[in-house]
Structure 1
Amino acid sequence: MISTDPDPVPLLDVTGLTKHFPVRGGFPVRRTVGAVQAVDGLDLRVAEGESLGLVGESGCGKSTTGRLITRLLEPTAGRITYAGQDITHASRKDLAPVRSEIQMIFQDPYASLNPRHTVGKIVSAPMEINGIDPKGGRETRARELLEIVGLNPEHYNRFPHEFSGGQRQRIGVARALALNPRLIVADEPVSALDVSIQAQVVNLLQTLQRDLGIAFVFIAHDLAIVRHFSQRVAVMYLGRIVETADRDDLYENPRHPYTRALLSAVPEATASHIPAARTRIRLTGDVPSPLNPPSGCRFRTRCWKATERCATETPTLARVEGDGVGHLTACHYPEVRDEAPEPRQTLAANP
């Protein structure tokens, strides 16, 4: 149950998180000639038992953020606080007790499982590595976890290649649950699966989140799935959070132009005799390179509201008048409900 305290202490608190990957060149000396700004000054909070959706276009830094939170990558700058403990640059020894509480579900179920190991070995490996010997033994616990995620415990001795994609992802979920985590980072856990299987895996994660009280950072680019799973949503563009709000508030009243453009692309099931409720916004141009992002607001090169101020002044996440306390937007000219984009923006009716 999520605390109703107006300002509860978050389970995860990320402030100013930054990750720049150096680009090296030159001959004969390999010197640093630039940096890919994958994540640049990101702030987010996750409460105990809460599910936070992180959405955005491919290449915006979502997966890098997930790996920074789980400390699979070393941050360039910023701060990561977990349960009140600063783990930003914690040593391997200091991270040992935290590792078991922060787990990750990877995007590709085919690449994240060792093909040489049996399912039982894969699921029980975290317990073996951390020296945990549960009541009844590791094999009994592994079989219980397989049953929890909807697999047959009798498949304990099978290998990953004997399972379908959806079943392999369930194995990955069972492995993540092996150490009773408090936080799971799910990095696009269903994007590699067939549409018919996606709902099964998402419903499984939702059930586990509700029954076990696990907090989730759910990374995805499918806005329909995020709305179904997450209680809060953060929208990311080119390494920065541009808007964050409660699920219903964000989907019904998007304030950032980029958020509005994303939501306009979500397919709507309407009868043929009922006109579409909104027009689709087709953004012009490509996403700028993270090697040389635009000054000021990073979305300004594709935004129909951009002015000189957007090029010189970086907008900060702030509450727009009339929005809820948790609805924050990084835009100098936030959207107004039912406001139409300017004519120079290419528009098309929703199919």
Structure 2
Amino acid sequence: MSTPLLDVRDLVMHFPVKSRGIISHTVGHVKAVDGVSFTLEAGQALGLVGESGSGKTTTGRLVTRLQRPTSGQILFEGKDIAQASPRQLKPLRRDIQMIFQDPYTSLNPRQTVGEIVGAPLAIHKLVPKDKRLARVQELLEIVGLNPEHYNRYPHEFSGGQRQRIGIARALTLQPKVLVADEPVSALDVSIQAQVINLMQQLQREFNIAFLFIAHDLAIVRHFCPEIAVMYLGKIVEKAPREELYAAPKHPYTKALLSAVPDVEQARIGGRRERIRLTGDVPSPINPPSGCHFRTRCWKAQDVCATTEPVLQKVGAGADEAACHFPEP
């Protein structure tokens, strides 16, 4: 078997909670990511979905090593980068890049587009100084922007254009993995499809692997052949998109999908049953024992409180779910 491009094993990120006062001490931990594992092949797209606070954005920041994990392994081309030093990480920055959620705050307003997109080239010294402008203009053209606008500032562009600038910056070093953290959630619906189509085109053209983080299940379905669903720091279900959308096995996934508008259902009349989850998401500082979802689950029984379910294959397909009583 070939080694996957990215192999994440039992990734954990616990943020310490400090007490107030002159002498503070740790009184607990926020379990933002609590044992996440997945693989990503070259050119593949994996969707990571879940509601706010599920840990998906933190997972993306750990994979790009913007944050150092508490424990676990991040194997990139077989080499563990989880605890690598900044000096060891510098050459790896070329291979793993991130597209940020908000195009309005992720670009420096005091720099021109040419300076923003060209900065990675200067830092990594990949292109001679006299050829940087040509490379920047080439990248702007690739993402659908006018290459002559390199000397403009971010405020002179629309939200969709700014996100294209962010994508151009991420492409500068020709990465092998792009972590897209809700890349279209801050954009108008009319612009979202254009940006998604651009990323799909770039994925095919440059064979880039995508970890696509989102809360919009319709967009993830369009972009990602495989989807992992997160709840309170853990992956509760992982499956090919056809299986996941046709017959979700975890109750949480079923509840999420019940809230997605179904065009086919609207065409034939009637409504899909809407599952309303009771209560709020429990605190990641003190998650429920056993199955983290049990406090909101309509199928919960005594075993759910005492034994944590493991992610394992359910049914005849490739669907994996962490549930004692998966959906039929």
TM-score (norm 1): 0.91
8 Å Cα contact 1:134/1:141 also seen in 2: no
Q: Which residue, 158, 161, 170 being the options, matches 1:176? A: 170
Residue 280 (structure 2) aligns with: 286
SS of the aligned residue for 1:282 comes to coil
Residue 224 (structure 1) aligns with: 218
Measured in 2, the distance between the counterparts of 1:131 and 1:292 equals: 47
Between 285-294 and 267-276, the greater mean CA deviation after superposition? 267-276
Measured in 2, the distance between the counterparts of 1:125 and 1:291 equals: 39
Deviations 1:32-67 (A, max 9, x none): 011111000111111111000000001111110100
Between 193-202 and 135-144, the greater mean CA deviation after superposition? 135-144
Residue 148 (structure 1) aligns with: 142
Residue 82 (structure 1) aligns with: 76
Give yes or no for the alignment of 1:110 onto 2:104: yes
SS of the aligned residue for 1:280 comes to coil
Measured in 2, the distance between the counterparts of 1:294 and 1:271 equals: 36
Give yes or no for the alignment of 1:253 onto 2:247: yes
Letter of the 1:287 partner, please give it.
Answer: V
Give yes or no for the alignment of 1:120 onto 2:114: yes
Measured in 1, the distance between the counterparts of 2:315 and 2:151 equals: 58
8 Å Cα contact 2:99/2:178 also seen in 1: yes
Spell out the pairing of 1:1-351 with structure 2 (5 A cutoff): 7-133=1-127, 137-270=131-264, 274-276=268-270, 278-324=272-318, 327-336=319-328
Deviant stretches of 4+, over 6 Å: none
Deviations 1:88-117 (A, max 9, x none): 100111111111000000000010000010
Measured in 2, the distance between the counterparts of 1:271 and 1:254 equals: 17
SS of the aligned residue for 2:282 comes to coil
Measured in 1, the distance between the counterparts of 2:129 and 2:122 equals: 14
SS of the aligned residue for 1:289 comes to coil
What RMSD over aligned residues (CA atoms) do the two structures have, in Å? Answer: 1.4
Structure 1: gaps of 5 or more residues:
1-6, 337-351
Total equivalences in the alignment: 328
Letter of the 2:93 partner, please give it.
Answer: R
Measured in 2, the distance between the counterparts of 1:134 and 1:14 equals: 36
Structure 2: gaps of 5 or more residues:
none
Deviations 1:193-241 (A, max 9, x none): 1111111101100110111100000000000000000111000000000
Measured in 2, the distance between the counterparts of 1:235 and 1:50 equals: 17
Sequence identity of aligned pairs in percent? 64
8 Å Cα contact 1:296/1:315 also seen in 2: yes
Measured in 2, the distance between the counterparts of 1:271 and 1:56 equals: 23
Q: 1:261 to 1:127 in 2, by over 3 A?
A: same
The structure carrying a bigger helix percent of its residues is 2
Between 23-32 and 98-107, the greater mean CA deviation after superposition? 23-32
Measured in 1, the distance between the counterparts of 2:274 and 2:2 equals: 38
Deviations 1:148-169 (A, max 9, x none): 0000001010000000000000
SS of the aligned residue for 1:128 comes to helix
Measured in 2, the distance between the counterparts of 1:110 and 1:26 equals: 34
8 Å Cα contact 1:15/1:79 also seen in 2: yes
SS of the aligned residue for 1:58 comes to coil
Letter of the 1:119 partner, please give it.
Answer: V
Give 1:272 deviation, angstroms. Answer: 6.1
TM-score (norm 2): 0.97
Deviations 1:258-289 (A, max 9, x none): 00111111011258673336211111111001
Measured in 2, the distance between the counterparts of 1:9 and 1:28 equals: 50
Residue 342 (structure 1) aligns with: none
8 Å Cα contact 2:232/2:284 also seen in 1: yes
Measured in 1, the distance between the counterparts of 2:132 and 2:75 equals: 31
